[in-house]
Amino acid sequence: MMQTCAINGWTLTSALGAGLATLGPALAARESGLRRNDFPGSGIDTWIGRVDGLDDGEALPERWRSRNNALAELGLAQDDFIGRVRDTRDRLGADRLGVIIGTSTSSIGRTEAAYRAMDNDRWPAEYLQPDVHQPHSPGLYVAHRLGITGPALTISTACASSAKVFASGWRWLQSGVVDAVVVGGVDSLCHSVLGGFSSLELTSTQPCRPFDTRRDGISLGEAAGFALLTRPQDAPASAPWLAGYGETSDAFHMSQPPENGAGAEAAMRAAIGRAGLDAAEIGYANLHGTASQANDIAESRALSRVFGEPVPVSSTKGWTGHTLGAAGIVEAVIALQALVTGLLPGTLNLSEPDPGLAFPILQDNLEASIGAALSNSFGFGGNNCSLVFRRRLSGAEA
């Protein structure tokens, strides 16, 4: 039985820019992609991680036109990801590839625009898009764009959505449903998100400050990221592995974690255990670290019980903002990049660590060669998902 799967390519587009070539330099230089809110039509006093040059999809066929699909298109176009998938599809067959995409907003921004354009209680013809005005929109679009005819799934479990895609992709490969699977996340800014989180008093008027004693809320962002999962024998020897995953549900509260972080702890323990590792073998953990009061304290308490001894752990939302349904793929890609480049990003905007934290948080960047990295993604509704990535083992060890 397959005990792991290979990451046969990945890419990320966020407020830091399009593709991996923009990500690494921004992390190394500690240059944030956050800006004061300039989303058209929004007067909310906050900071956002907006992707430059993104429109409402004017270049896409009318059937697919939306800001979310435009973001997906921009993300797919980076790091030769489309070419890598095409080569795999041509080798294995289009019906042997699957697609699993995480999102929270889907293309709801397009639906907002349709309502604004209503005339005599009718939507204009250009907004009659049944493949766009539904939660499965990004999964449908990515499968269409990549010419994949195998199963397609969209997961919407709040901010854990595009972490859970890795776990589902693993299971699809293990069960033989597919021979390769494109996983990822796409979430774009829209008024429902900006207004909704502002009404919950969860947004900060400053760039977010994860784990800082002065933190007062999140900075919303948008992003698109993707990875190609295959069986280890179908990937280059240099490809890292998805070695483990853990999924739990708090069953505690719609928008808050339990104060002790029990669900987060269980997810991390499950991921590390499935990877066959001891916690001490994790060289870096990219945290969910939203800069909300409740999440940061709960996550630190969970970390203290899982790890005991300090390891480098950080939140990178000061660079990208909280990209909601795309947070999982952002966190996973940064963890993968830490594994292959040795750059362990610190926590931007953390200058006064909260004395109530139960675990030390990395403030400044580090450079270190690590063998395994953990990625945490926790969402509303008590959705928790942790992933473990590691360098490929030798044949004897595998």
For 207-241, write each residue's pLDDT tens digit. Answer: 999 999 999 999 999 999 999 999 999 999 999 99
pLDDT in the model for residue 398: 43
Altogether, the residues listed in the chain come to a count of 398
Positions of the chain with pLDDT under 50: 396-398
Residues 240, 246, 247: CA angle, nearest 5 degrees: 135
pLDDT in the model for residue 394: 59
Where are the alpha helices (H) located in the chain, listed in sequence order? 20-29, 67-76, 81-92, 108-116, 137-146, 161-175, 191-199, 262-274, 293-307, 317-320, 327-341
Annotated active-site positions, please? 159, 288, 322
pLDDT tens profile 277-291: 999 999 999 999 999
Cβ–Cβ under 8 Å, residues 4 and 239: no
pLDDT tens profile 266-280: 999 999 999 999 999
* CA R_g for the chain: 20
Cβ neighbours of residue 309 under 8 Å, at least 6 residues apart?
280
pLDDT in the model for residue 252: 86
End-to-end CA distance of the chain: 12
Q: In 3D, which of 241, 261, 242, 239 has the Cα closest to residue 250?
A: 261
Q: Alpha-carbon distance 380 to 394, whole Å?
A: 39
